[in-house]
Amino acid sequence: MYTLVATALTSFCFAFLAIKFFKPVAIDMGLVDKPNERKQHSGHIPLIGGISIFIAVLAASLLWLPNTLELRMYLIASAMMVFIGVLDDKFDLRVRVRIIGQIIIASLMIYGVGGYISNLGNLFGLGDITLGPMGVLFTYVAIIVVINAYNMIDGIDGLIGSLSINTFTSIAILFIMSGQTNYLSYPLILATATIPYLMFNLGVFEKLLGKETKKIFMGDAGSMFVGLSVIWLLTMGTQGEQTSFRPVTALWICAIPLMDMLAIVARRYKNGKSPFKPDRDHLHHIFQRIGFSSQQTLVLISTVAVAFSAIGLAGEYFNIAESIMLLGFLTMFILYNLTIRAIVK
């Protein structure tokens, strides 16, 4: 318990210090988000949330976690992901370049530590679905989907931070429920490292201290790093000889980013647009379009995300049939699509 507390405090403190250090550096380097027709904020906002979270994860991991091959590969892959994200934040890389980078990073996970998805669980009540060699291809797709799902959901203050903390906390609870606590420190470090970012992003320190503290954004470096961390943890938790939770549960604890991405990609494809072309048709944009404020939208989406995670945790705890959990998720996704289509029209 002492180690877990120390790990969490280390992560929080390093994230806070990294933000304070990198804010002026980012402004001097031009690593800032500028307002345009899609980004309706005032001023140039430093894009250092992801950098601060990675620095905190790196520091806490090196100080408190065992020096395993898996940890080393995760930190190397994360560093590469953050580096590509920083380049994207600064120079707006082409989609093809980002995807190639994500494929290379995915290879570190798949071939570096043998972390790939080979078993989808008993989704149809007929026994476990094993993918065999196709598991490698499936894992590449899953990694790219999850990385970009968290990247695309980052659109209003507090959203990516809240959803990330919800996902990491849910994974930590699943590790505790299963009794497989070897990996508990990973989501704990990530969750606590995200808290300072969220506080700066929402202006919490400004309200507490009564003085102006410049807002920061996550940036592509942060959202892609979060996505990579999520899929890495989900693979660790659902695959191998000693699994911590079932693959279908993973759908529930990252439901909002997945549903939003899959729905918007389908709409863009239907309208003849590139799936990666930015627009203002994400879930948070739609809520704002129908009259909700940014804060109301944040609270509403975050509450739904927590509810989805609670369903996944309950399904795991009560050992509800995986086929029922999958059917429930697909039903929610269909309802989500029908509702969004009705609103967009």
Q: What is the pLDDT of residues 253-310, one digit of tens each?
A: 999 999 999 988 888 888 777 777 777 777 888 888 888 899 999 999 999 999 999 9
pLDDT of residue 77: 97
Q: Is residue 111 part of a domain?
A: yes
Sign of the CA dihedral with 15 first, then 21, 26, and 27 last: positive
Place of tokens 């309950």: 314
Q: How many domains does the chain have?
A: 1
Average pLDDT over residues 31-45: 71
pLDDT of residue 44: 84
As given in the structure block, the two tokens for residue 35 are 């307002």
Q: Is residue 167 part of a domain?
A: yes
DSSP H helices, the chain, are 2-29, 49-64, 69-91, 95-107, 134-152, 159-178, 185-201, 204-209, 219-238, 247-253, 255-270, 283-289, 294-317, 322-344
Q: Is residue 221 part of a domain?
A: yes
Q: Is residue 303 part of a domain?
A: no
Helix axes 69-91, 49-64, angle to 10 degrees: 170
Lowest average pLDDT, out of 221-230, 252-261, 276-285, 324-333, goes to 276-285
Sign of the CA dihedral with 291 first, then 297, 301, and 304 last: negative
* Per-residue pLDDT at 343 exceeds 80: no
Average pLDDT over residues 308-313: 98
pLDDT of residue 114: 87
Q: Is the pTM of this model over 0.75?
A: yes
Q: Is residue 309 part of a domain?
A: no
∠ CA(242), CA(246), CA(248), 5° rounding?
155
* Per-residue pLDDT at 248 exceeds 80: yes
Q: Is residue 88 part of a domain?
A: yes
pLDDT of residue 34: 80
Helix axes 219-238, 134-152, angle to 10 degrees: 140
**The one-letter amino acid at 189:** I
pLDDT greater at residue 209 or residue 240: 240
* Per-residue pLDDT at 239 exceeds 70: yes
Confidence of residue 207 (pLDDT cuts 50, 70, 90): low
∠ CA(302), CA(304), CA(74), 5° rounding?
60
The parent domain of residue 123 ranges over 2-247
Give Cα 171 to chain centroid, integer Å: 12
Q: Is residue 218 part of a domain?
A: yes
* Per-residue pLDDT at 117 exceeds 80: yes
Average pLDDT over residues 115-138: 94
Contacts (Cβ under 8 Å, ≥6 apart) of 282? 152, 153, 155, 260, 264
* Per-residue pLDDT at 233 exceeds 90: yes
Place of tokens 């500028």: 34
Average pLDDT over residues 304-331: 97
Is residue 169 within 8 Å of residue 190, measured between CB atoms? no
DSSP 3-state of 130: strand
* 228 CB-side CA count, 13 A: 31
Average per-residue pLDDT in the chain? Answer: 91
Q: What is the distance between the alpha carbons of residues 183 and 162, in angstroms, rounded to a whole number?
A: 22
Q: Is residue 322 part of a domain?
A: no
